[in-house]
């Protein structure tokens, strides 16, 4: 008779997200992962396959969680300038620990091997999804007269994707609020 799982796989994946976010893929040991997840080696293999498959699942979980937050932030009816201000100022106000940790997906992009197509596809899909959220919000703002007619919503969306990624990268190197707040202020001027 098959044994029932004595742990919640979704809770375990969330714990793995924390380990991979802190350590990266290469430095995260199986012992560290199992300890954080509260599972034994056999349970890890039976449920998730191996460390690589667990990593990909953790990346997808992190991506899905972040996309959901972003969708809510840029929900229809909210002023787009307020949304971008909250987003950018939010990064600038993160704690030193949060800034030093960066973004799990950006970290994965930097850490991945050049030929790792699976991770590359996941990251590209995320980037396109975020860009589309921004673009749709900017297009709504333009139709509502909140954004000038001469502004290009597609170009602005790509600009904000690059700005957010740059702020994450900068925050890892220089986890200080003032320089990030200056970047946020300049980025917000693009909406004027």
Q: Are residues 42 and 95 in the same domain?
A: no
Q: Are residues 82 and 154 in the same domain?
A: yes
Question: Could you list the residue range(s) of the whole structural domain that residue 168 is in?
Answer: 74-191
Q: List Cα–Cα distances, 119 to 27, 48, 60, in angstroms.
A: 17, 17, 10
Return d(Cα 33, Cα 65) in angstroms, integer: 20
Say if 65 falls within a structural domain: no
What is the block-wise mean pLDDT of the chain (192 residues), using blocks of 10 residues?
Answer: 68 96 94 94 92 96 96 91 95 89 93 91 96 97 95 98 94 90 95 92
Residue 4, pLDDT score:
52
pTM for the full predicted model: 0.90
Question: Residue 108 maps to which CATH number?
Answer: 1.10.357.10
Q: Which residue has the tokens 């990030």?
A: 180
Residue 160, pLDDT score:
98
Residue 5, pLDDT score:
59
Say if 184 falls within a structural domain: yes
Task: State the total domains in the chain.
Answer: 2
Q: Are residues 36 and 106 in the same domain?
A: no
Q: Are residues 111 and 154 in the same domain?
A: yes
Residue 1, pLDDT score:
43
Say if 36 falls within a structural domain: yes
Burial of 18 from C-beta contacts in 10 A (0-12 / 13-18 / 19+)? middle
Residue 144, pLDDT score:
94
The DSSP element (H or E) to which 169 belongs, if any, is: helix 153-173
């Amino acid at each position: 008779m098959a044994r029932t799982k004595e742990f919640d796989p979704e809770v375990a994946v969330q714990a793995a997200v924390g380990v991979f976010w802190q350590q990266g893929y290469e430095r995260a040991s199986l012992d560290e992962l199992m300890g954080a997840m509260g599972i034994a080696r056999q349970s890890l293999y039976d449920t998730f396959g191996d460390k690589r498959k667990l990593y990909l699942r953790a990346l997808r979980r992190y991506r899905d969680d972040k996309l959901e937050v972003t969708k809510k932030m840029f929900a229809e009816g909210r002023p787009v300038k307020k949304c971008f201000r909250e987003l950018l100022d939010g990064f600038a106000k993160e704690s030193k620990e949060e800034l030093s940790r960066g973004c799990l997906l950006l970290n994965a992009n930097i850490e991945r091997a050049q030929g790792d197509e699976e991770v590359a596809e996941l990251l590209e899909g995320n980037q396109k999804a975020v860009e589309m959220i921004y673009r749709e919000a900017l297009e709504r703002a333009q139709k509502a007269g909140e954004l000038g007619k001469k502004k290009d919503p597609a170009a602005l969306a790509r600009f904000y994707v690059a700005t957010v990624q740059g702020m994450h990268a900068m925050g890892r190197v220089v986890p200080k609020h003032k320089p990030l707040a200056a970047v946020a202020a300049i980025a917000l001027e693009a909406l004027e």
